Amino acid sequence: MEQTYVMVKPDGVQRGLIGEIVSRIEKRGLKITAMKMHQIDEETAREHYKEHSDKPFFEPLVEYITSSPSVSMIVEGENAITIMRSMNGATKPIEAQPGTIRGDFAIETGRNVVHASDSKETAEKEIALHFSESETTTYSRID
Catalytic residues: 115
Q: At what angle do helices 18-28 and 80-88 cross, to 10 degrees?
A: 140
Among 38, 42, 57, 128, the residue binding ligand CMP under the rule CB under 6 A is 57
Residue 111 has a CB neighbour count (10 Å cut-off) of 17
55 labeled part of a ligand binding site: no
Return the closest-CA partner of residue 18 out of 37, 3, 39: 37
85 labeled part of a ligand binding site: yes
Kindly state whether residue 119 participates in binding ligand CMP, applying the rule CB under 6 A. Answer: no
In angstroms, the first-to-last Cα distance of the chain is 16
Residue 139 has a CB neighbour count (10 Å cut-off) of 8
Segment contacting ligand CMP (CB under 6 A): 13-21, 32-40, 73-81, 108-116? 108-116
Kindly state whether residue 112 participates in binding ligand CMP, applying the rule CB under 6 A. Answer: yes
Among 44, 66, 82, 91, the residue binding ligand CMP under the rule CB under 6 A is 91
Cβ atoms of 84 and 116 within 8 Å: the answer is: yes
Kindly state whether residue 106 participates in binding ligand CMP, applying the rule CB under 6 A. Answer: no
Binding residues for ATP: 9, 57, 85, 91, 102, 112
